[in-house]
DNA sequence: CCGCCCCCCCCCATTTCTGGGAATACCCGG
DNA sequence: CCGGGTATTCCCAGAAATGGGGGGGGGCGG
């Protein structure tokens, strides 16, 4: 299957489910690629241009919401998932002027890869087909996975985020808990300098110069999780 | 809905779909008192004990595979997803001795949280009900999200998250981007000392003594989000 | 065998953060 | 009117992190 065929199939099933548009996309990964890697949609051209020009890839409310849940959600439920800002409302108004109505978005997150989602949207004024949302959840999930496999086949290199060694990760986890290098050394039973070096190497791998962004990026790409940090 | 009711419902629908067991869980080593962890299953007790005793939380092949895909997979497809080791095969033999047959696992990943999954397994010797796998994908996804919401409600710490002032939050966001106090001062147009004080107050509110755990806690409770940090 | 990666140890100098103080001023609501 | 929260500036000393060098040793696959 090619990307064009997948897009074609998605457009067709979207229509059969009662939607007008679909958008299957990676959300912006700021670390490397300036553009989303996976991207298939049949949105109006004007809307896509506006979206890109304003770099909404990561700040779009629908995308933000898809980062805090593991299953699909109707756009009408957005306020329950995220804090809506003035700008978010403007984005929706803009979308409506481009003919986009209500929608349903299925998040698709794989640890260590850019987060993504598959959205289905109705034409302006048309309600979301409630009876088909379960189907949309299924279609969205499998469509994203299909696109992801195409993407991996095309570009196996970029699929790998910075990887930390076990020791680097151990040090980082204790660092995120607020331990100093010296304390981490005692905890892990190695020397102070070794801990300094592990964290130094970890920073280099992520291309950052400070502990805090290191922690943030490692959390973002799944190298460490909140549970690693907060447990016990 | 309570955890018990969710487990009850999952057990029932598992049976109706043609499975014998289910397991809805976060993926963790259980070594460090996993208080804030989702875990519901109706596996045989012996198997669960073995699983915990051997700390399979993160190394179990099914869990590993669920970290490299965004949709459900039959266990028979594991070799296509991950590199199977000798130990993995032993784990499956052990599971079979405990009455567990084939299965289907739905990954569930939310950025920044522990990775998780919802698995359905047949009794030994019984085949996976191919005709119900799409349904299993749906049930697994929504069941995990339901469990996740229960888990979030149960957590007391999130009930009263410390509030930061706008300025404290601004400083924190720039700090998470790796800026020094001095740089933040230039960016926000205030003095170096003011930035130091904002971040000092923010640390006090969160009861931490370092920038990195401050960032982590503020990310965890939603005071700031990855999007705030990574955008533009 | 070598190269590569991981892990461990040590030194240096410099920057940055943290934890104490103190002070002024604003706005808002009780 | 006053109290509370916010925002601002300034001081200090010490702790911690960062950036740059050195070394080792082991395993693993080409």
Residues of B in contact with A228 (CB under 8 A): 114
Q: Which DSSP state fits B35?
A: T
Q: If contacts are CB pairs under 8 Å, which of residues 84-113 in chain B contact chain A? A: 107-113
Residues of A in contact with B37 (CB under 8 A): 227, 231
CB contact under 8 A, B115 and A64: no
SS3 B120: strand
In the numeric block, the tokens 């067991």 are attached to: B21
Closest residue (CA) to C1' of nucleotide C5 is: A165
Angstrom CA distances, B166 to A88, B196, B225, B231, stand at: 19, 15, 14, 18
Sequence-distant (6+) residues with CB within 8 A of B54 are: none
Residue A31: predicted pLDDT: 42
The distance (Å) linking the CA of A72 with the C1' of C19 is 47
Residue B184: predicted pLDDT: 94
Smallest Cα–Cα separation from A175: which of B27, B211, B115? B211
Across the interface, of A83, A115, A228, the residue whose CB is closest to B111 is A115
Which nucleotide lies nearest residue B208, CA to C1'? C18
Q: Residues B51, B58: contact at Cβ < 8 Å? A: no
Q: If contacts are CB pairs under 8 Å, which of residues 178-207 in chain A contact chain B? A: 178
Residue B161: predicted pLDDT: 64
Q: What are phi and psi of B102, to 5 degrees?
A: -95, 170
Look over chain A and give the mean of its residue pLDDT values, rounded to a whole number. 86
Across the interface, of A28, A67, A109, the residue whose CB is closest to B70 is A109
User: Which residue has better confidence, A46 or B58?
Assistant: A46
Model confidence over A127-159: pLDDT tens digits? 999 999 999 999 999 999 999 888 777 755 445
pTM of the model: 0.74
User: For testing the chain A interface, which of B28, B36, B105, B110 should be mutated: the one with the most A CBs within 10 Å?
Assistant: B110
Model confidence over B148-175: pLDDT tens digits? 888 877 765 555 567 788 889 899 999 9
Q: Tokens at residue A207, please?
A: 């291309």
**Strand D nucleotides within 7 Å of a protein CB:** 5-11, 15-22
Gap from A220 CA to chain B (nearest CA, Å)? 6
Residue A33 touches partner B, C-beta closer than 8 Å = no
Q: Which DSSP state fits B29?
A: -
Across the interface, of B36, B176, B231, the residue whose CB is closest to A58 is B231
| Residues A191, A192, A193, A199, CA torsion sign | positive
Rounded (10°) angle between helices A181-188 and A192-206: 110
With residue B79 as reference, give the H or E element that holds it.
helix B78-81
Residue B87 CA, chain-centre distance (Å), reads: 24
Give chain A's residues under pLDDT 70. 28-37, 55-59, 111-114, 155-161, 231-232
Gap from B189 CA to chain A (nearest CA, Å)? 22
Q: What are phi and psi of B69, to 5 degrees?
A: -150, 160
Which nucleotide lies nearest residue B203, CA to C1'? C18
User: Which residue has better confidence, B82 or A106?
Assistant: A106
The distance (Å) linking the CA of A223 with the C1' of C9 is 27
> How far apart (Å, rounded) are the C-alpha atoms in residues A226 and B114?
7
The distance (Å) linking the CA of B192 with the C1' of C28 is 27
Residue B210: predicted pLDDT: 96
Angstrom CA distances, B30 to A177, A199, B43, B118, stand at: 19, 25, 17, 17
Q: Residues A45, A143: contact at Cβ < 8 Å? A: no
> How far apart (Å, rounded) are the C-alpha atoms in residues B6 and A220?
29
Residue A117: predicted pLDDT: 93
Sequence-distant (6+) residues with CB within 8 A of A198 are: A165, A167, A168, A170, A171
Q: Evaluate if the CB of A231 falls below 7 Å from strand D.
A: no
Residue A13: predicted pLDDT: 96
Residues of A in contact with B210 (CB under 8 A): 178
Question: Taking chain A, what is the end-to-end CA distance rounded to the nearest angstrom?
Answer: 47
Gap from B187 CA to chain A (nearest CA, Å)? 17
Residue B27: predicted pLDDT: 74
Residue A70 touches partner B, C-beta closer than 8 Å = yes
Residue A35 touches partner B, C-beta closer than 8 Å = no
Helices (H) and strands (E) in chain B, counts: 11, 5
**Strand C nucleotides within 7 Å of a protein CB:** 5-11, 15-19, 21-22
Q: Please give the torsion angle defined by the CA atoms of residues B210, B216, B221 and B222, in that order, rounded to the nearest 10 degrees.
A: 110
């Amino acid at each position: 299957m090619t990307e064009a065929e997948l897009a074609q199939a998605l457009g067709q099933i979207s229509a059969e489910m009662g939607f007008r548009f679909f958008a299957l996309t990676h959300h912006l990964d700021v670390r490397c690629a300036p553009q989303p890697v996976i991207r298939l949609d049949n949105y109006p051209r004007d809307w896509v241009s506006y979206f890109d020009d304003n770099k909404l890839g990561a700040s779009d409310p629908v995308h933000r919401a898809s980062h805090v849940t593991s299953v699909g959600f109707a756009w009408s439920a957005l306020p329950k998932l995220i804090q809506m800002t003035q700008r978010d409302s403007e984005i929706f108004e803009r979308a409506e002027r481009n003919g986009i109505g209500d929608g349903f978005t299925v998040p698709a997150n794989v640890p260590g890869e850019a987060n993504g989602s598959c959205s289905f949207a109705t034409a302006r004024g048309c309600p979301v087909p409630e009876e088909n949302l379960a189907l949309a959840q299924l279609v969205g999930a499998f469509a994203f996975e299909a696109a992801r496999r195409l993407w991996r086949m095309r570009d196996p290199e970029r699929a790998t985020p910075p990887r930390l060694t076990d020791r680097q990760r151990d040090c980082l986890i204790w660092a995120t808990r607020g331990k100093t290098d010296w304390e981490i050394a005692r905890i892990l039973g190695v020397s102070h300098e070794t801990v300094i070096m592990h964290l130094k190497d970890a920073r280099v791998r992520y291309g950052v110069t400070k502990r805090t962004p290191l922690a943030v990026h490692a959390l973002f790409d799944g190298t460490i999780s909140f549970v690693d940090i907060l447990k016990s």
